[in-house]
C-alpha cells in the first residue's frame, strides 16, 4: 500500500521528519520504505491557459497556441498534442524551465514559427509512464501558479508492507491512528461533512447470514454526471497511491477506501432488478466480473444478488452487467462489512486481485460503513452533482463489543520489565482501548471494533511493548544458568555431513514434509504413508516416507532453468504409519544427475554413474568407511541391476542406485538420476580417532591377479584376503578388473594390491612370501580362485 506523507499529516502530524516517522513505525511493527512523490521536481513549469489555437502554416499536426501564464502577455507556443484547444488549463514550461528528464526549454523555431516554451504531458513531468496528450488541469487552476505548488509535488510516498494481522492500517485513518499513538499526539480528524439527503428513494436490502455479512448498507444517488472530471487533488492522491483514474464515481470509491479503509462499490441502479440480497452462491451459478472473466461458482462464495441473479462477488469484484458506465445517471452505492472468513480464498481461487479483497481478508471495521458511505456520497455529489437518497441497511447496527482481561503481573513477567500501572493505562488509551480496574491488578480492556488482531491477553501485552518502545525495555540475563556442553566425539553430526557434501560440490535443498501421494507411491510403494486430514493442497496430502520426492521436484525445477548438472542433498525427517502409530526417521538423501565432472577441456564428458556416488558416500562415511558395504539388492524405486543396499555390519542403513526405468517413464523425467538415502541414526556413531605412530620401517607390496567366477564380488575377495593376510597385511585393494576371452565368459580377472608392514622391524622376503602364500591358499580354497600367470 502506498500513501502520501502530506495526506497522512492532515490526520496526524507529529513534530518529526518523515524518516523519524518511518523509523518509529518500523519499530512499531510496520514495514515500509520512503520514496519521493516525483524523482525530480520540474523547474519553471507553471499553470497555463490556452486562449487561442491556429493551424501551423507548415505542418498539419502542429498548432500555434496562445497561452496565458499569468504575466499579462500571451506566449506563442507550438504544440503537437491532439487535445490542445482553447479554454483548457495545462502545464506550461517557459523558456529557461527544466523538466524532470533534464530537458531545458529554450526559445525555438518550429517549421519557421517561433515557440516561447512547451506545453507538457503527464509523462514529460514524470507523473505517468505514458500519455496521449497534454495534462489537462482543473478549470479553476490559476495561470502562473507553479505546477509544483498546484499539484503539491513536494511530497513523499510511504510504501508499506502491511502484515496480515494489521488490516486496520490499510488507510490514511488507520495509519494516522498508529502514528498518533506512537508519538503520543492527537489525531486530527478533518471535517468530513455528511451528505445532504434530498430524495426519498430506497432499495430494499437483506442479509441471509449476519455471521458472513454483519452489516450491509446502500443508498441511491440519482441525476449524476459520470462524464464529470475527477478533480486534480484527488487524481494526484490516487496516483501517489498507485491507482489510476477511471471515472469520478469509481475514483471516489477508491479515494474513500484509501482514506478511511472501507471498500465501496457502485452499481448502475437502472440495471438492477428488484431488491438486493447478500447470500452464498448456489452450485453452478455464474457471474461475469468487471475484468470480463466468466466465473462458475461451486464453493459457496458470498454474493451480492438482485432478483435476476448475482451482480457482484462480495468483497472481491463487481459484475460486468451492473457496472457504472459513461451513460449511468443513477447509482446504488454499497458499503458493507464482510467477515474475513467469508472472503478469504475467494479471490485466489478465481485468480482475481482487488484492493477490496485485500482489505476484507484482513478485517474491515464494522462500525465504519455509514461514515464511509456518507463521505463518498458527499464527494460524488460535489463532483458529479445529483440527488442523495436515504441509506437502506440490513444486519446488525453495531458490532458486538470485545473485552479482554489483562493482568499487570503477567505483562511484567512476559516483558521482563516493570511497567507502572498508570503507564500501561496511558499507553492503551492512546489506542482508544478503554480499561477498567478489577480486583488484584487486573484490567478489563474494551477493544475498538477496527482492531481485529486484538483477541487475547498477549495481544495487549504486545501493544504495550511496542508503544513503550522495545529499545526502552532493558536486556537482562536469564535467571537460569546454562552450562555449554561438547558433543561426544563418538557421534557424527549432521553439520559435519553437510560440510563434507558441500565441500565435494553438493548443494543442500529444503522441501516440504508434505508430498504428492501418487509420486510417493511410485518411490516407496511398500511403506504406509500418513494421510493429512486438512492438506494445504490436493497434491500435498501425505507426509513423506522418503526424501526423494522433494529432491526430484527440486531437480526438475532447476532443470527448467537450464541447469543441467546437479548434486542435491537434503536432511530431514520421514514419517511412516506403523500399525496406527506415526514413526519418525531422520534421514539424509541425495540426487546426482548430469555429467560426472564439470565441463572442461582435459576430460571427456560422461554421465554420472553408480560408482561416482558410491565414492561420495565413502567419503561421507570416513573414517568408518571400512565398516560399510554395498550389496546388490532390489528396491522398487531403483534400477534392478544398478542399485545396492548399504550395510553397516549386518544392519541395512540405506540405498544407492539409479532411478527405476518404470518410475522414469511414469514421472516423465528427462534423465536418469542416481539417488541415495541413508538412515542417519544408523550412521551417526563413529569411532574415536586414536593416535598411532608411523612405522619407521619400509612397506612392501605384492600384486596378485586372480581369476574368479563373475558372481564373486570385490568385497568377498577383500574380506578373504584380509582374513588370511594376518597381522603383517596393512592394506588390500582392487586396482584392475579384466573380462575377455583369455579368462572365459563366466569369469573375470581381478588384480589385487597387498601392502605389508611391521612396526618393529623390516620384513624379509620370506615373511612376505609366507603371508602371500596364505592369502593365495585362502582364495583358492574359499573362492576357488585361480592365480593368473
- The model's pLDDT over 408-427, given as tens digits with 9 standing for 90+, comes to 999 999 998 999 999 999 99
198 belongs to a structural domain? no
Inter-residue contact 232 to 47 (CB < 8 Å): no
Whether the per-residue pLDDT at 293 is higher than 80: the answer is yes
What mean pLDDT do residues 85-94 have? Answer: 94
Decide: helix, strand or coil at residue 785: coil
Whether the per-residue pLDDT at 754 is higher than 90: the answer is yes
pLDDT at 313: 94
pLDDT at 460: 95
| Report field, pTM of the whole predicted structure over 0.75 | no
Strand 700-709 and strand 786-787: the pairing is: antiparallel
Q: Are residues 82 and 216 in the same domain?
A: no
- Cα dist from 372 to 318, 576, 729, whole Å: 18, 55, 92
Query: How would you write 145-157 as a 3-class SS string?
Result: CEHHHHCCCCCEE
597 belongs to a structural domain? yes
What mean pLDDT do residues 152-180 have? Answer: 93
**Cis omega (within 30 of 0) on the bond before 590?**
no
Q: How confident is the model at residue 557 (pLDDT cuts 50, 70, 90)?
A: very high
The domain of 413 spans 402-470
Decide: helix, strand or coil at residue 617: helix
Q: How confident is the model at residue 484 (pLDDT cuts 50, 70, 90)?
A: confident
Q: Are residues 650 and 734 in the same domain?
A: no
Q: Are residues 288 and 352 in the same domain?
A: yes
Final residue belonging to a domain, choices 344, 373, 395:
395
- The model's pLDDT over 569-615, given as tens digits with 9 standing for 90+, comes to 999 999 998 888 889 999 999 999 999 988 888 888 899 999 999 99
Tell me how many domains the chain contains: 6
Inter-residue contact 660 to 552 (CB < 8 Å): no
- Cα dist from 21 to 33, 161, 168, whole Å: 11, 15, 18
pLDDT at 22: 94
Decide: helix, strand or coil at residue 161: strand
478 belongs to a structural domain? no
The fraction of the chain above a pLDDT of 70, given in percent, is 100
Strand 317-318 and strand 215-222: the pairing is: unpaired
DSSP class of 104 = B
pLDDT at 97: 93
What mean pLDDT do residues 491-515 have? Answer: 92
Q: What's the whole-number average pLDDT of the chain?
A: 91
Q: How confident is the model at residue 789 (pLDDT cuts 50, 70, 90)?
A: confident
Final residue belonging to a domain, choices 351, 368, 395:
395
- The model's pLDDT over 12-48, given as tens digits with 9 standing for 90+, comes to 999 999 999 999 999 999 999 999 988 889 999 999 9
Look up the CATH number of the domain holding residue 756.
3.30.70.380
Residue corresponding to grid cell 526405468: 661
Find which of 345-354, 360-369, 471-480 is predicted with most confidence, using mean pLDDT. 360-369
Strands (E), 607-761: 628-632, 638-648, 651-659, 674-679, 700-709, 729-738, 747-756
pLDDT at 233: 94
What is the longest distance spanned by two Cα atoms in the chain?
A: 123
Distance from C-alpha of 8 to C-alpha of 16, rounded to nearest angstrom: 13
- The model's pLDDT over 380-416, given as tens digits with 9 standing for 90+, comes to 999 999 999 999 999 877 777 899 999 999 999 999 8
Q: How far apart are the first and last CA of the chain?
A: 84
pLDDT at 485: 76
pLDDT at 788: 83
Cα torsion for 203, 209, 214, 215, to the nearest 10°? Answer: 0
- The model's pLDDT over 209-268, given as tens digits with 9 standing for 90+, comes to 888 999 999 999 999 999 999 999 999 999 999 999 999 999 999 999 999 999 999 999
Inter-residue contact 520 to 545 (CB < 8 Å): yes
Distance from C-alpha of 460 to C-alpha of 406, rounded to nearest angstrom: 7
Q: Are residues 239 and 296 in the same domain?
A: yes
Cα torsion for 300, 303, 306, 309, to the nearest 10°? Answer: -50
Q: Are residues 509 and 647 in the same domain?
A: yes
pLDDT at 299: 84
Amino acid at each position: 500500500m502506498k500513501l502520501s506523507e502530506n495526506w497522512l499529516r492532515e490526520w496526524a502530524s507529529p513534530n518529526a521528519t518523515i524518516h523519524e516517522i518511518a523509523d518509529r513505525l518500523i519499530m512499531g511493527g510496520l514495514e515500509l520504505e520512503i520514496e519521493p512523490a516525483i524523482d525530480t521536481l520540474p523547474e519553471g513549469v507553471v499553470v497555463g491557459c490556452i486562449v487561442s489555437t491556429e493551424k501551423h502554416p507548415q505542418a498539419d499536426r502542429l498548432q500555434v497556441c496562445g497561452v496565458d501564464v499569468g504575466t499579462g502577455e500571451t506566449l506563442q507556443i507550438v504544440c503537437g498534442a491532439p487535445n490542445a484547444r482553447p479554454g483548457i488549463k495545462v502545464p506550461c514550461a517557459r523558456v529557461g524551465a527544466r523538466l524532470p528528464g533534464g530537458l531545458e526549454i529554450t526559445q525555438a523555431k518550429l517549421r519557421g514559427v517561433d515557440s516561447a516554451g512547451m506545453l507538457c504531458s503527464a509523462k514529460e513531468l514524470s507523473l505517468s509512464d505514458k500519455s496521449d496528450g497534454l495534462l489537462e488541469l482543473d478549470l479553476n487552476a490559476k495561470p502562473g501558479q507553479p505546477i509544483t505548488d498546484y499539484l503539491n509535488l513536494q511530497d513523499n510516498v510511504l510504501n508499506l508492507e502491511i502484515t496480515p494481522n494489521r488490516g486496520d492500517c490499510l488507510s490514511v485513518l488507520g495509519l494516522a491512528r498508529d502514528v498518533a499513538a506512537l508519538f503520543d499526539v492527537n489525531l486530527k480528524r478533518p471535517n468530513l461533512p455528511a451528505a445532504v439527503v434530498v430524495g426519498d428513494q430506497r432499495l430494499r436490502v437483506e442479509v441471509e447470514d449476519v455471521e458472513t455479512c454483519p452489516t450491509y448498507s446502500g443508498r441511491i444517488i440519482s441525476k449524476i454526471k459520470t462524464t464529470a472530471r475527477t478533480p486534480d487533488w484527488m487524481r494526484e492522491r490516487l496516483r501517489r497511491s498507485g491507482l489510476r483514474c477511471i471515472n469520478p464515481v469509481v475514483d471516489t470509491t477508491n479515494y474513500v477506501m484509501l482514506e478511511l479503509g472501507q471498500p465501496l462499490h457502485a452499481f448502475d441502479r437502472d440495471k438492477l432488478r428488484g431488491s438486493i440480497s447478500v447470500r452464498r452462491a448456489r452450485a453452478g451459478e455464474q457471474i461475469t466480473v468487471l475484468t470480463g472473466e466468466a466465473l462458475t461458482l461451486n464453493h459457496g462464495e458470498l454474493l451480492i444478488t438482485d432478483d435476476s441473479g448475482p451482480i457482484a462477488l462480495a468483497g472481491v469484484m463487481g459484475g460486468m452487467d451492473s457496472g457504472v458506465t459513461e451513460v449511468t445517471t443513477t447509482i446504488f452505492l454499497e458499503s458493507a462489512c464482510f467477515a474475513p472468513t467469508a472472503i478469504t480464498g475467494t479471490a485466489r481461487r478465481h485468480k482475481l486481485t482487488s484492493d477490496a479483497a485485500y482489505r476484507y481478508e484482513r478485517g474491515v471495521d464494522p462500525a465504519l460503513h455509514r461514515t464511509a458511505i456518507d463521505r463518498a456520497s458527499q464527494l460524488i455529489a460535489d463532483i458529479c452533482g445529483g440527488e442523495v437518497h436515504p441509506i437502506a441497511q440490513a444486519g446488525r447496527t453495531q458490532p458486538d463489543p470485545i473485552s479482554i482481561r489483562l493482568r499487570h503481573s503477567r505483562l511484567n513477567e512476559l516483558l521482563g520489565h516493570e511497567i507502572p500501572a498508570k503507564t500501561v493505562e496511558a499507553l492503551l488509551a492512546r489506542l482508544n482501548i478503554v480499561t477498567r480496574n478489577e480486583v488484584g491488578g487486573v484490567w478489563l480492556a474494551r477493544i475498538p471494533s477496527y482492531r481485529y488482531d486484538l483477541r487475547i491477553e498477549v495481544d495487549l501485552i504486545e501493544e504495550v511493548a511496542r508503544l513503550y518502545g522495545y529499545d526502552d525495555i532493558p536486556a537482562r540475563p536469564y535467571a537460569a544458568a546454562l552450562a555449554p556442553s561438547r558433543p561426544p566425539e563418538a557421534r557424527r553430526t549432521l553439520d559435519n555431513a553437510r560440510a563434507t557434501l558441500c565441500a565435494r560440490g553438493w548443494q543442500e535443498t529444503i522441501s516440504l514434509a508434505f508430498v504428492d501421494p501418487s509420486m510417493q507411491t511410485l518411490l516407496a510403494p511398500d511403506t504406509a504413508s500418513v494421510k493429512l486430514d486438512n492438506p494445504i493442497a490436493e497434491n500435498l496430502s501425505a507426509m513423506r516416507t522418503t526424501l526423494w520426492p522433494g529432491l526430484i521436484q527440486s531437480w526438475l525445477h532447476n532443470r527448467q532453468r537450464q541447469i543441467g548438472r546437479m548434486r542435491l542433498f537434503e536432511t530431514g525427517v520421514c514419517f511412516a504409519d506403523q500399525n496406527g502409530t506415526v514413526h519418525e526417521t531422520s534421514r539424509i538423501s541425495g540426487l546426482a544427475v548430469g555429467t560426472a565432472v564439470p565441463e572442461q577441456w582435459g576430460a571427456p564428458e560422461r554421465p554420472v554413474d553408480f560408482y561416482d556416488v558410491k565414492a561420495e558416500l565413502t567419503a561421507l562415511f570416513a573414517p568408518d568407511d571400512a565398516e560399510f558395504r554395498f550389496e546388490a539388492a532390489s528396491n522398487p524405486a531403483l534400477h534392478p541391476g544398478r542399485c545396492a543396499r548399504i550395510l553397516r555390519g549386518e544392519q541395512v542403513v540405506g540405498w544407492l542406485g539409479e532411478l527405476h526405468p518404470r518410475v522414469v517413464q511414469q514421472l516423465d523425467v528427462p534423465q536418469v538420476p542416481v539417488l541415495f538415502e541413508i538412515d542417519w541414526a544408523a550412521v551417526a556413531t563413529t569411532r574415536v580417532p586414536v593416535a598411532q605412530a608411523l612405522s619407521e620401517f619400509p612397506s612392501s607390496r605384492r600384486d596378485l591377479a586372480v581369476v574368479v567366477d563373475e558372481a564373486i564380488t570385490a568385497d568377498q575377495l577383500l574380506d578373504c584376503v584380509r582374513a588370511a593376510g594376518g597381522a603383517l597385511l596393512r592394506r588390500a585393494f582392487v586396482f584392475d578388473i579384466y573380462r575377455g576371452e583369455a579368462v572365459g565368459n563366466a569369469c573375470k580377472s581381478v588384480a589385487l594390491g597387498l601392502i605389508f608392514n611391521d612396526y618393529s622391524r623390516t620384513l624379509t622376503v620370506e615373511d612376505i612370501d609366507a603371508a602371500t602364500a596364505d592369502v593365495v591358499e585362502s582364495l583358492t580354497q574359499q573362492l576357488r580362485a585361480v592365480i593368473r600367470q
